[in-house]
Amino acid sequence: MAIVLGENRYGKAETRLVRVIRDGETHTLADLNVSIALSGDLAATHLTGDNSGVLPTDTMKNTVYAFAKEHGVGEPEEFALRLAHHFVDTQTQIRAARVGIESFGWERLGPHSFRRQGGSTRSTEVTVTVEQTQVVSGIQGLVLLNSTDSEFHGFPRDRYTTLPEATDRILSTAVDARWRHLRDDTDWGKSYEAAVEAMTRAFVHTYSHSLQQTLFAMGSQVLSDLPEVAEIRLALPNKHHYLVDLSPFDLTNDNEVFIAGDRPYGLIEGTVTRDDVPPAITEWYP
């Protein structure tokens, strides 16, 4: 039996970058967490310890900071594309570069004062090979809640089923979504805002018989509104809310007082796609 080296990659993970853009008295912030992974002709370093093809990960970190100064940051997708193309174009042994970025928002309080925006985080993952480019945008931790217009019933029951059927319940989730673009020349900021708005609008206006139904409605709305998106992957944890038993206090609870559950929780995942899009060049979600 032969033992061989399988797929491999290496890089610099979670380089923290804060870039201040100074326009006179008015400043703007870009706050990023950048991760880089390279793959290609790297067998020698694994098999013999020959590092002649291994660009140091410290160099990757330095490139992030130097590019932020020399070229600016712009939208996360722009910055990731610039970095990924640089590594593929300048390192002949590298066949593919993947750059993932988390982008943290700040709310302006004055010309040079800011407050960190809580809640969701914008994300980007760009993969550049010598032949193709793939851009995936996303959002993590978008918390949404409908206090009614949600049901869950008609499910199979067995000897271990204790869940009562619900015809009026709270539906809440923390959306993790990633969507793959058809092109690499999109207006990234406008597209991101439109995708988040489409998902939110679908959540608000869908009478839900299951979180799965809501997931499909959210994904479908994004594809309907954004022709530049090929497909979208959503992961929706069901943030359960349980009615409190108030009968010991001679009180009724007409869907008014709840315990917000922490764990365990249901996790609904799915991809909504067009039926005529080209396949992804590489796996683009965990």
Q: Which two tokens stand for residue 177?
A: 């979504």
Strand spans (E) along the chain = 10-23, 26-40, 94-103, 106-110, 113-116, 121-129, 133-146, 171-181, 229-238, 241-243, 258-260, 266-273
> Is 240 in the active site?
yes
Amino acid code (one letter) for 95: R
Q: Which spans in the chain are helix H? A: 43-47, 57-70, 76-90, 188-205, 211-225
Q: How many CB atoms are closer than 10 A to CB 167? A: 9
3-state SS class at 167:
coil
Which residue among the candidates 181, 239, 240, 241 is catalytic per the annotation?
240
**How much is the CA Rg of the chain, to the nearest whole Å?**
23
> Is 162 in the active site?
no
Amino acid code (one letter) for 84: A
> Is 190 in the active site?
no
Sign of CA dihedral 274, 277, 279, 280: negative
Q: Cβ distance 129 to 117 under 8 Å?
A: no
Which residue among the candidates 27, 28, 45, 57 is catalytic per the annotation?
57
Q: How many CA atoms lie within 13 A of 44 on its CB side?
A: 7
| Residue positions annotated with a catalytic role | 12, 57, 240
